[in-house]
Chains A and B, each alone.
Chain A
Amino acid sequence: MSADVRQTGVSGVDAPAESIHPRSPAPPHHRARRLAITVAVLVILLAATVLGSAAVGQFPLTVAEILASIGRRLGLVSPDESARFADGALWNVRFPRIILGIIVGAALGIAGTLMQGMFGNPLAEPGVIGVSAGCAVGACSAIVFNITWLGEATVPVAAFVFGLLTTFAVYFLSRSTGRTQILTLVLTGIAINAVANALIALCVFLADTASREQIVFWQLGSLNGASWVAVGATLPFLVLGTVGALYSARKLDLLALGERQARHLGVNVERLRIIAIICVAILTSAAVAYAGIIAFVGLIIPHLLRLIVGPSHRVLIPASALGGALLISLADVLSRTLVPFADLPIGMFTALVGGPVFFLLMRRSLRSGSGLA
C-alpha cells in the first residue's frame, strides 16, 4: 500500500481509484509521452478551430480582410473607412464571442474534472447534477428583479451565489456513509434540477417580455451577444477557479485513494472539499452567467481525457480546460453559421453528444455494480 501511495504522491499519475480509473496504468514514461502528445494535439486543434472560427461567419470576409482588420487595430495598417462594418463585425461580434467560448469551455471542463474528483464519481458534472441550473436561477432572479447593485458583475455574482448554494446542497444531500454513490448522485441531480427549473419557470412567469426572452436563452445556452464586457467579467472567475483547481489537484489525487487514506496522508479532506465546491461554483457561474446552461461539456471532456492522459488531476485539469475550450469553440462555429441570420442554441450540440455518452457511462458503472447505492 505504501509503495502505491508513494508512487501516486510523487508521480501523480497512478491513483488507483476504482470508479474513475478506466484502465490499467501504463508505464510512467509512456504516460509522459502520451501526455505531451495529447496536450500538443489539443493546443493545435484549439488554435486551428479558433483561426477557422475567426475566418467564418455570417459577415462574409476573406482571410486577407481579417488580417487587415487586425493590422488596423494594432496600428500596422492605415485606417480604412470603407471597412468599418467589417471591423465592427470582427471586433464587436466575432472576436469577443470566440474568446468567451474559450473561457466558458475551459471553465466547464475544469468544473467537471473537479466535481468528478471531489465526488469520486465519473457522472458528476455541473449540468447533470443541477449546479448549472442553480446558477441560472441566480442569474434569472437578478434579471427579473432588475438587481444591478454590482453593475455588470451582478448577474455573474448572483449566479455564483446560487451555484455555491446548489453545489453544497448536492454535496450534502448525495452523500451517504461517507461516499457518494452514482445512483444517489444522479437522483439528487434530478431533484435539484427539478427545483431549479421550477424556480426558473417562476422567473419566466414574473418576467416582462424582454426578460423572458433573455431567460429562455438560459435553457439551451448560447454565445450570441458575447461582448468584451462579458469577457472581462468572466475571465477573473476562470483565473480564480483555475488557480484553486490546480492548488487542489494533488490532494484530489490522494482523495481518489479513499477518504481515510487521504486523511492519513495529511490531506484536510473537509477543507479540500470546500475549496473544490467553491471553485466549481466560481467556474460554473462564469460559464452560465453569459452563455446559459451548456450541459455535458464537463462530463464528456474530463472522461475522454482521463482515458488518454490518466487520472492525475495536475494533468487532467489543464487538459480538460483545453478540451472544453475546443468542444465549445467547435460547437459555436456550427451554431452561428449553420442557419443564415439565425443563431442555434449551442447547448443543443453538446447535449446531442453528451446525452448518449452519459447513458453509456451510467450503464457501464451500474453494470459493474461498483457505484450502486
Chain B
Amino acid sequence: MASVVPIETDVTPELPVTLTDINGTSVTVTDVSRIIALDLYGTLAQTVVGLGLGDNLVGRGSTNTMESMADLPVVTHDGHQLNGEAILALEPTIVLTDTSIGPREVQDQLRDSGVTVVFFEPQRTMDSVAEQITAVAEALGVEEAGVELADRSVAEIAQATADIAAMAPADAADKLRVAFLYVRGNGSVFFVLGEGSGADDLISSLGAVDIAAEAGIAGTKPANSEALLALNPDLVLVMSSGLESTGGLEGLLNRPGMSDTIAGQNRRVVDMNDGQILSFGPTTGAILRSLADAVYAPAELRP
C-alpha cells in the first residue's frame, strides 16, 4: 500500500488544545505522544502519518496496511468489535475515531478511563478531504502542518482529476458506467454502494458514471441478481480482500447476475486495497491516479 509522505518530519504540537468534536463534546487535548487512530476506512491514521506524527502511533486498525505501520499491533477485529482492555493496554494518550467503528460503549470506556477521545465526521467524500485533515491537525495541535497537508492533498486530487479528464471519454454518452460492489465471503454480504456512500464521489472523480446513484440507490442496498442486471455496469469496482474472500474474480463472476452484465462478460473488475479505496484522505490523489490507470487501461493490456 502506498505510504503517505509526511508533510514535515519534525513537528512540535502546540498543546493544550480545546475543541468541540463532531458529537458536540468539548475535549481538551494535552498529550499526543501515544496516538491510536481508529476508523473503518483507515483515513485518520493516514492523516496522522501525513501530519508527521506517524511515530506517535501505538496501534492501528486492520485497514491500516501502510508499510510504516506494519509493526504496530492491530486493535480491530474485522474492522469492528473493538476491545477496550486491549486498547488500554497500549496506554494511548489520545484516540482519534468516528462512529464507523465500535461498539460505541468501548469508546466511552476509553473516555471514562481518562483517555482523550476525539470523534470526527464519519462521512467520507471528495469535498471533505481538506476539512477532515484540518480537523485532525487541530486536535493534535499541528494546525500549520494540517493546512499544508490539506492543500497538498487537494492539489493532488485536482491534478489527478485533470489528468483523468484527458483519459476519460469527453462525451457524456461514451462515459464508462461503473458500479461499486461491496462483497464479503460467499454469503449474503453483497451490496451495491449508491449515493452518499463515497463510492458515487469516487466514480464521478474517475470521469465515469455511478449507475447506482443514477438509478436512485441511496446508501448501501443488497445487490440482488436482477438489480445487477438492471444496472448492467460496464465495469465493477471492489475491495481487494472482499474480492479474495468471495473466491477471486471467478468467485465474483459466479455470483448470480454478475456473468450476464457487460462488466461480467468482459471480465472488467478493478480491485483496490480495502483501507484505501474509500478512505478520502491524504492518499486520494494517488488512489484516483492508480484507479484511473486500471480503469482506462487499453483493452490489450487488460489481464
Chain A interfacial positions (CB closer than 8 Å to B):
57-60, 84-85, 87-89, 91-94, 208-210, 213-214, 217, 222, 224-227, 230, 336, 339-343
In the complex, are the beta carbons of B106 and A89 less than 8 A apart? no
Q: In the assembled complex, which residues on chain B have CB atoms less than 8 Å from the CB atom of A217?
A: 81, 103
Extra contacts besides A227-B105, A336-B85 (18): CB < 8 Å: A59-B85, A84-B114, A85-B115, A88-B114, A88-B115, A92-B112, A93-B84, A93-B88, A213-B80, A214-B103, A227-B109, A227-B112, A339-B77, A341-B73, A341-B83, A342-B77, A342-B83, A343-B83
B86 interface contact, C-beta 8 A = yes
Partner of B106, one of A58, A60, A91, A225: A225
Closest beta carbon of chain A to B280's beta carbon, Å: 16
A89, chain B: closest CB distance, angstroms: 4
Among B81, B89, B114, contact of A343 (Cβ-Cβ < 8 Å): B81
Contact B80 A341, beta carbon cutoff 8 Å: no
* Chain A residues whose CB sits within 8 angstroms of the CB of B122 once the complex forms: 209-210
Contacting residue for B83 out of A58, A92, A208, CB 8 A = A58
- Nearest 5 pairs between A and B by C-beta? A88-B113, A225-B105, A342-B77, A93-B84, A58-B86
Taking the complex as formed, is B175 at the interface, i.e. its CB lies under 8 A from any CB of chain A? no
Contacts of A213 in B (CB 8 A): 80, 102-103
> With an 8 A cutoff between CB atoms, is B91 at the interface?
yes
Q: Are B88 and A225 in contact (CB under 8 A)?
A: no
B77 and A92 within 8 A (CB): no
Closest to A89 in B: B88
Q: Are A57 and B109 in contact (CB under 8 A)?
A: no
Max chain A Cβ within 10 angstroms of own Cβ: one of B86, B88, B114: B88
Complex CA distance for A57 and B114, rounded to whole angstroms: 19
Cβ-defined contact, A341 with B103, below 8 A: no
Known: A88-B112, A88-B114, A342-B77. A57 touches B85 (CB 8 A): yes
Residue of B76, B104, B113 with most chain A CB atoms under a 10 A cut-off: B113
**Which residues in A have their C-beta under 8 angstroms from that of B106?**
224-225
Residues of B that sit less than 8 Å from A by CB: 73-77, 80-81, 83-86, 88-89, 91, 99-100, 102-106, 108-110, 112-115, 122, 219-220
Which residue of chain B has its CB nearest to the CB of A337? B85
> How long is the Cα–Cα vector from A340 to B76 in the complex, in angstroms?
10
Residues of A within 8 A of B83 (CB): 58, 224, 336, 341-343
B100 touches A210 (CB 8 A): yes
B277 CB → nearest A CB, Å:
16
**Which residues of A lie under 8 Å from residue B84 when comparing CB positions?**
89, 92-93, 224-225
CA–CA, A226 and B100, complex, Å:
19
Question: Which of the residues A222, A225, A341 comes within 8 Å of B86, measured between beta carbons?
Answer: A341
Min CB gap B69→A, angstroms: 15
Whether A210 and B76, one on each chain, are in contact in the complex, defined by CB atoms closer than 8 angstroms, is: no
**Partner of A225 from B99, B103, B112 at Cβ < 8 Å:** B103
Bound-state CA distance A340–B73 (Å) is 10
Chain A residues contacting B75 (CB-CB under 8 Å) are 341
Contact of A59 among B81, B86, B105, B108 (CB under 8 A): B86
CB distance from B180 to the nearest CB of A (A): 15
| 19 A-B interface contacts by CB (under 8 A) | A59-B86, A59-B88, A85-B89, A85-B91, A88-B115, A89-B84, A89-B89, A91-B113, A92-B84, A92-B112, A93-B84, A93-B85, A210-B122, A213-B80, A214-B102, A222-B81, A224-B84, A342-B83, A343-B81
| Chain A proximity of B208: nearest CB distance (Å) | 25
Q: How many angstroms from the CA of A87 to the CA of B91 in the assembled complex?
A: 11
A339 to B231, CA, bound (A): 41
Residues of B within 8 A of A343 (CB): 77, 81, 83
Shortest beta-carbon distance from A65 to chain B in Å: 12
Of A91, A213, A340, A341, chain B has the most CB atoms within 10 Å of the CB of A341
CA distance A303 to B60 in the complex (A): 46
Is the Cβ of B105 less than 8 Å from the Cβ of A210?
no
* Given known contacts A59-B86, A59-B88, A341 and B100 CB-to-CB distance under 8 angstroms: no
Chain A neighbourhood of B91, CB < 8 A: 85
C-alpha gap A57/B83 in the complex (Å): 10
Chain A proximity of B74: nearest CB distance (Å): 6
Q: Are A88 and B88 in contact (CB under 8 A)?
A: yes
A214 shortest CB reach to chain B, Å: 7
Chain A residue nearest in CB terms to B112: A92
CB distance from B156 to the nearest CB of A (A): 28
Q: How far is the CA of A336 from the CA of B103 in the complex (A)?
A: 15
**How far is the CB of A205 from the nearest CB of chain B, in Å?**
8
A83 to chain B, nearest CB (A): 11
Given contacts A88-B112, A88-B114, A210-B100, contact A224 B77 (CB under 8 A): no
CB contacts (< 8 Å) of A57 on chain B: these are 85
Q: Which residues of A contact B81 (CB under 8 A)?
A: 217, 222, 224, 342-343
Complex Cα–Cα for A211 and B53 (A)? 32
CB distance from A72 to the nearest CB of B (A): 13
In the complex, what residues of A have CB within 8 A of residue B77's CB? 339, 341-343
A209 to B198 Cα, complex, angstroms: 13
Chain B neighbourhood of A225, CB < 8 A: 84, 102-106, 109
Nearest CB of B to A130, in Å? 22
